Structure 1
């Protein structure tokens, strides 16, 4: 117990030196570690210092803390944009670089205090096990944050790919461009109904001149959107449908023939706004 308390105190008193030693040895070839911005470097050192403060407390024999003490540090660091932009293997490498510093200090301490081999091994295991637990936790949290960001980006892309544009107080346009998969079609249904209701339009132009291919499920979904809009009192006009899509829709039995269509968006606009 005496050695444990002394070792904990030794680490605690040398945190600033540990931070500087780590930063001096860190790989500055990529990610957040490559920045030469003084503010970024200061923040990086502050994050590193926060790690050591918590790690020292985990090593404190009087507190008997688990690695749960790192929760706020792991979450905030994993959510940091600069760390998210840093390859995970680079971050893990810096974790192990910090671990090497701790083990080097442990070796010197044990030699100076003539600590027996079993006690030294126990300290070694405590340090490496704790580091491994935090590293695994960080990797998992970082993956969750990356997945969250990807989902947010996908949602933004979906939103931008299905915009309902107000042309007049009562007329709106939905321009469709590119491939329409099942996810986009589902989002389109939710977004279009919500947007038309919010904008209080009574006419919606769906321009399909930018759509090259359409499958059965997507065609059915578009038809369902049009039918749902009818219930909201919105009349839909489809413009710019390509011949191959019209042929495919007929072969699939999608009743687009019951819906108002025009050859181009220009024709649709003239028909409603200038008739």
Structure 2
């Protein structure tokens, strides 16, 4: 059970709630070289949430946290940076400190320093929770956005190009990881079927590294395509990559390979003049 003085401070802050909101509303934070106006919803829900930290039950504060996040997301989520919100909450925190100071000075009896520190700690912990919650949501949103962008990159960079007849080329570039290969294993067979490809040349001249994982994933891909009646030739492996595979004991004997895409096409009897 918290001491009664917490409730007295709570009552004081509630009595001055309109003044606190007004002071918060007047806060001007410069964002990207320009001053931004904040919706009055944010000061209102912020005071409601922070002041509830002084109540005996944490239920009120926890329930208000979700309300606060919903309001902030709708107002700032897509428009302002994390640093902007940090500056905003810093100003709000200072305003609360001033009102706590007013409350202390208004008391007829002196208040022990440890009690004043206790109040400031409670309020500061509340603001810390607000900022931490917002950062967590921003991280989730950022990861979701990065995932969407990566999927788009995978889709763009993993395209089977029809050549002539039933022949297709799959140029691979950049770093190859588990997520990308998951997309390749899913998309390439479907693309080959859609394009009626029965002979696929996978060109790896743009892949800087060949390791056991990549070899294993290529093996999975060739087996999947073979089951669909599609033969595969891998070309374009760089000399340093080839040397690494030999030194690492990676077995590529299961693949039909060629040093370059041009050589692979020639070996298959495909006339370059017809391309």
After TM superposition, the score normalised by the length of structure 2 is 0.69
Match of 1:178 in 2: 174
Q: State how 1:65-144 maps to structure 2 within 5 Å.
A: 65-74=60-69, 77=72, 80-83=77-80, 85-87=81-83, 91-112=85-106, 114=108, 117=111, 123-144=119-140
**For each residue in 1:139-161, what CA deviation from the matched residue of structure 2 results, as whole angstroms up to 9, or x when unmatched?**
33333334444444444444443
3-state DSSP of counterpart to 1:252: coil
Whether 1:16 and 2:10 are equivalent positions in the alignment is no
More helix by share: 1
2:4 aligned residue: none
SS in 2 for 1:175: strand
Distance 1:34 1:131 in 2: 24
The counterpart of 1:34, out of the listed 8, 32, 35, is: 32
1:157-190, Cα deviation, whole Å (9 max, x unpaired): 4444333345579554311123435554444323
Distance 1:229 1:50, change over 3 A: farther
Matches within 5 A, 1:1-275: 4-20=10-26, 22-23=27-28, 26=29, 28=30, 33-36=31-34, 41-42=36-37, 44-46=38-40, 48-55=42-49, 58=52, 65-74=60-69, 77=72, 80-83=77-80, 85-87=81-83, 91-112=85-106, 114=108, 117=111, 123-166=119-162, 171-181=167-177, 183-197=179-193, 199-242=195-238, 252-256=250-254, 258=256, 263-264=261-262, 267=266, 270=270, 274=274
| C-alpha contact (below 8 Å) 1:58/1:67 kept by paired residues | no
- Label 1:247 to 1:257 Cα distance change in 2 as closer, same or farther (>3 A): farther
C-alpha distance 146-133 of structure 1, shift in aligned 2 (>3 A): same
Cα shift at 1:69:
0.9
Write the distance in 1 (CA, Å) between the matches of 2:62 and 2:176: 47
Name the CA shift for 1:206/1:52 in 2 (closer, same or farther; >3 Å): same
CA contact (8 A) 2:54 2:122 kept: no
SS at match of 2:34: coil
Cα distance in structure 2, aligned partners of 1:145 and 1:230: 40
Distance (Å, rounded) in 2 between the aligned partners of 1:247 and 1:3: 73
Alignment check: 8 A CA contact 2:168 2:199 kept? yes
Q: Encode CA deviations 1:101-148: one digit per residue, 9 max, x unaligned.
A: 111123224434657626866654542332233233333333333444
Give the paired residue count: 260
Q: Distance in 2 between matches of 1:234 and 1:101?
A: 70
CA deviations over 1:68-125 (Å, ceiling 9, x no partner): 3122433664682444x444xx643432321111111232244346576268666545
TM-score by length of 1: 0.69
Unaligned runs of 5+ in 1: none
Measure how far apart 1:5 and its partner are: 3.2
C-alpha deviations, 1:197-234, integer Å up to 9, x for none? 45554333312233354223312321321121111222
The separation in 2 between residues aligned to 1:210 and 1:200, in whole angstroms, is 25
